[in-house]
Chains A and B, each alone.
Chain A
Amino acid sequence: MKGALLLILSGAPLAATLGCLLMQRRQAAEMFNLAAALAVFAAALPLPFLVGNTGDAPAFFWGHYILLDRAGAWVVLCTAIVYLLSSIYSVGYMRQLKEEAERLPRFYALFAAFAFTTLVAPLMNDVGLYWIVIELTTLVSTFLVAFERAAESIEAAWKYIMVVSAGISLALLGTILLYWGGSFVLGPSYQMTWSALASAAPGVNPVVLVLGFLLVVVGYGTKAGLAPMHSWLPDAHSEGPAPVSAMLSGALLNAAMIGIARFLAIMRGAGLGPLSGTVLVVFGILSLLVGALFIVRQRGIKRLMAYSSVEHMGVVALGLGFGGTFGVAGAFYHMLVHSLNKSLMFFGAGNVMRAYGTKAIGGIKGVGRAFPVSGTLWLAGAVAITGAPPFGLFFSEFTIMRAGLTPQMSWAVYAMAALLIVIFIGFMNHFRSMYYGPPENDPAEALVEPDRWSVLPMWLALLPLLVLGLWWPAGIWSYLAALAHSLSPGMP
């Protein structure tokens, strides 16, 4: 059962890629990609339930190269949701790029390939293969970022591939050092799996472990957009087409975060939890700080969303760093709600950018009057993304803060709370100017609501977000608690 679902999960996007490349027709490519996204979502939805019922033993497939555990299933579900939403959205959005019409099949082929790489990354049992898949996500998405071929897009793509490839090579160095450390315990040749590293870690020299872990966190942290390694993120997120931005932010960042979570679990198992947790807390606070500073003074609408992603990855890093059941469960819950919410925000930003023909916040006025439906959805999303109740992010951020209220970490909680308030004010101020600013003095501009393809995914993102904020299903909590327990060995 699980094996078949995993096969659909990886096979459907690959088939869509092939189909798009072979058919070279716009309608066919749209349908292939949408069908693949639906299949992936249908396959990913039952995975957490199936894994949750099998006790603590994770399942392995295809000769131990694929690992299906609670964390992996959860992140795959997040990715599948974002893939589905952005596939629906891209049908409407990409059709409006008139000049790119004949290149659309190639766009969908790349899009499905990108979805494939982000979907399989969390399932890799081999640390080396995980590194390679993460590297592949960069290579595929570079061309999605550069898709519009504008000078800005290509500049963003160049920075993206340069910064991330250089950063992620540090993760490879760290992985090799950890493997070398493990070879003192397990002998010169062993499978490079998460569980092998975890079993070796308590016997490995702490200096080697800490050096390897720091390199790995900086490496995957570059990919996850943690400050100060985030420099590629605002460029790539703001210059790609809106559905690509949603995938980068909602799916890709989580895929890199789960690697950090797994290495952190290895360190906790080796008794180096406090030190490595503090490393993540420091990166988290830095990300919140950078996010806050750039959000307050931001002028570009998609760059605003991009810096908000830096901020939210910082929150996830804080949750992982605080650790314990609340911290890790809160961090993974935050991944889900952030994926939903950030997709909504990028969809709204794409609609508005398209309608007003500008990327600048200053050029956008009276969104609420011009777009009663999609404008309201976007505004609700903005309230949600800043962590205000009654949406899911309030709950996850609150849980993470509760996890941090220990004598050693409480400073970080206070800093986090202060920075979140600054971000709330800055973010809502931009929305105030876009919704209630002085009305444009040329009424000839006829603004129409975006088509159904562009509004439907916004509803599909907002409703679960509201439900998850009001109703906290016990099943999800017991699942996340078990997930947190398996990722924090040596903790009560």
Chain B
Amino acid sequence: MAFQHLAPFADSLVSLLAIISLLLSFVMLGSRWLKNYLYAFALESWAIALISALMGYYGGFPELYFIAVLTGVFRGMFLPYLIWRIIRRLKVNRELQPIVAPSMSMVIGALLVIFALIVSYRVAADVGLEATVVVLALTVMLSMKMIGFVILSVRHEAVGQILGLLVLENGIFLGSQILVPGMPLLIEMVILFDLLIVVVCFEVLVRYLLSQVGTTSSHDLRRLVG
């Protein structure tokens, strides 16, 4: 039997945190200031860490406490620190040429959440769990995924793109904590470390971009076509 029933109190706490994470990804979508992305991302990671801890406590998966600590430390502190270093090096603190105005991207995000809700409701109804936290978990997971893709496609700045990628990962991680809390510990840990390597690689590449190409905006990366 799959893990699906939580006590009502735990259920509402987890739902609250999931919705907070979703709102924070809207903050990232709507703001032009790179610092704001960063704070929103750090907070989002902390919300996910709390979800892990709650699932560990109420669901009876003690190993999730460990994951919660790792998530808080790595995603909530270390990754934001690394990205803060990149921002400092770049001396850019806001998105200069957004393709789509922030208000418009918020509207797109809202539409995507509705789409995600429809898909999740359909999936959850098919497995007979339409009145549980599963619907919300799937919705938040899919919408954060799509919002991440929107961020990736409307942002030019390297940092904005990296954070878009991290939102994609956060969405998956959040969903997996609620849907499959029993996932082998090894996988979750390796995914966390993998993320760390990704960000370090990005840092190096940003340095190359600055020194060799002279720009960190993908707007100017258009030598290779056809």
Contacts and interface: CB of A to CB of B under 8 A. Distances in A.
Contacts of A183: 2-3, 180, 182
A205 B127 contact: yes
A173 B145 contact: yes
A55 to B, nearest CB: 29
B172 A208 contact: no
B36 interface: no
A172 B192 CA distance: 13
Interface in B178-226: 179-184, 186-187, 190-191, 194, 197-198, 201-202, 204-205, 208-209, 212-213, 218, 221, 223-224, 226
A184 to B, nearest CB: 5
Interface stretch (B9-17, B92-100, B161-169): B161-169
Given A126-B187, A132-B190, A155 B224 contact: yes
A129 B175 contact: no
A235 B224 CA distance: 6
A299 B224 contact: no
A151 interface: yes
A149 B208 CA distance: 7
A207 B124 CA distance: 10
B131 interface: no
B47 interface: no
Interface in A184-219: 184, 187-192, 205, 207-208, 211
Contact of B127 (A135, A142, A165, A184): A184
Contacts of B223: 151-152, 155
A152 B175 contact: no
Interface in A402-432: none
Interface string A113-147: 00000000000001011001001100100110010
A238 to B, nearest CB: 7
A146 B183 contact: no
B34 interface: no
A142 B224 contact: no
Given A149-B208, A172-B172, A192 B123 contact: no
A395 interface: no
B172 A135 contact: no
Interface residues of B, number: 50
B152 interface: yes
Contacts of A126: 184, 186-187
A49 interface: no
A262 interface: no
Interface stretch (A21-29, A40-48, A156-164, A245-253): A156-164
B169 to A, nearest CB: 6
B197 A139 contact: yes
A192 B226 contact: no
B187 A166 contact: no
Contacts of A136: 194, 197
Given A151-B212, A184-B2, A132 B191 contact: yes
Nearest to A183: B2
A152 B224 contact: yes
Given A184-B1, A184-B2, A187-B1, A162 B152 contact: yes
A453 interface: no
A241 B176 CA distance: 39
Contact of B123 (A142, A146, A211): A211
A176 interface: yes
A180 interface: yes
Contacts of B201: 139, 142-143, 161
Given A169-B172, A176-B176, A151 B213 contact: yes
A482 to B, nearest CB: 31
Given A165-B198, A187-B1, A294-B226, A158 B122 contact: no
A154 B141 contact: no
A311 interface: no
B184 A149 contact: no
A208 B175 contact: no
B172 A189 contact: no
B212 A150 contact: yes
A100 B152 CA distance: 34
A184 B171 CA distance: 22
A176 B183 CA distance: 9
Given A161-B202, A166-B149, A169-B169, A303 B197 contact: no
B226 A298 contact: yes
Interface string B115-152: 00001001100110000000000000100010011001
A165 B165 CA distance: 8
30 contacts: A128-B190, A128-B191, A129-B190, A132-B190, A136-B197, A139-B197, A139-B201, A142-B205, A149-B212, A151-B212, A151-B213, A154-B212, A155-B221, A157-B208, A158-B158, A158-B221, A165-B198, A166-B149, A169-B169, A173-B145, A173-B171, A183-B3, A188-B180, A189-B61, A205-B127, A207-B126, A207-B127, A208-B127, A211-B123, A235-B224
Interface of A: 126, 128-129, 132, 135-136, 139, 142-143, 146, 149-152, 154-159, 161-162, 165-166, 169-170, 172-173, 176, 179-181, 183-184, 187-192, 205, 207-208, 211, 234-235, 238-239, 294, 297-300, 303
Interface of B: 1-3, 61, 119, 122-123, 126-127, 141, 145, 148-149, 152, 158, 161, 164-165, 168-169, 171-172, 175-176, 179-184, 186-187, 190-191, 194, 197-198, 201-202, 204-205, 208-209, 212-213, 218, 221, 223-224, 226
Given A146-B208, A169-B172, 7 more contacts: A132-B187, A162-B161, A179-B180, A183-B182, A192-B184, A238-B224, A299-B226
6 A-B pairs with least C-beta separation: A189-B182, A128-B187, A188-B182, A188-B3, A183-B2, A207-B126
